[in-house]
Amino acid sequence: MLKENTFTGVELGSQFLYSEEHGAIAFSATSSHNQNVLENTTVKYHTKLVDDGDSLNLSSGVFTAQSSGYYMFHLFSTSRQHEELWLDLRQNGAYVCSIYGFTEFDWASAGNSVILHLSSGDNVGFYSRPGHESHLFGSADHVFTTFSGAQLVSDFD
C-alpha cells in the first residue's frame, strides 16, 4: 500500500483521566478507491483504522462528538490526474477551513489540520465545495484520502 509521507501523533491525556463514562475518543478512516464527490456532499470513507468511541459514521462520512472538548482533525486527499479537489471542513454545517488541489497533467495533493471546540452532539465532516465536484484518487494499494481526529481534552478533565 503506497502512502504519502505523513506522521501525526496526539497524546489523548493520562490514562487516569478516563473512566467508562469518559473514554478516549479517536478515529482514523481511509478511502481505497476513486470517488467523485458532488457539491455539498461528504467524502465517503471505506475502512476504519481506529474508532475508539464509535463516533465516525462510514456511510455518511460524518464524525459526531460524544462529549464536549477540544478536538484535532486531519484531512488529506489526492485528486485524480488533471482533476480538481476542493473540500471544506464543516462543523454543524458551518464552514471552518478548506483543502484545494489541482495541477495540469498530474495528481494534486492537499491536507490540513484544525483544532476545534465541540459540544456533545456536534458533527464534523468534509464536503465538496459548493459549485464544485471533487475527483479523489484511490485504489486498494494507493490510499491517499484520509480523515482522522482525536479529542485532545474533554471539558470534564
- Distance, in Å, from the CA atom of 155 to the CA atom of 112, rounded to the nearest integer, reads 25
pLDDT of 7 reads: 52
pLDDT of 9 reads: 55
Q: Strands of 69-78's sheet, edge to edge?
A: 47-52, 26-31, 145-154, 69-78, 109-118
Of residues 130 and 51, the one with the higher pLDDT is 130
pLDDT (tens digit, 9 = 90+) per residue, 79-100?
A: 999 999 999 999 999 999 999 9
Produce one character per residue of 59-78: b if its CB has 16 or more CB atoms within 10 Å, e if not. eebbbbbbbbbebbbbbbbb
Pairing of strands 109-118, 56-57: unpaired
Global confidence as pTM: 0.84
Share of the chain above pLDDT 70, in %: 85
Comparing CA positions, the residue from 6, 147, 138, 137 lying closest to residue 79 is: 137
- Out of 1-5, 93-97, 105-109, pick the least confident: 1-5
The topology (CATH level 3) of 25-154 is: Jelly Rolls (2.60.120)
Taking CA atoms, 94 is separated from 18, 35, 81, 87, 126, in Å, by: 30, 24, 30, 13, 11
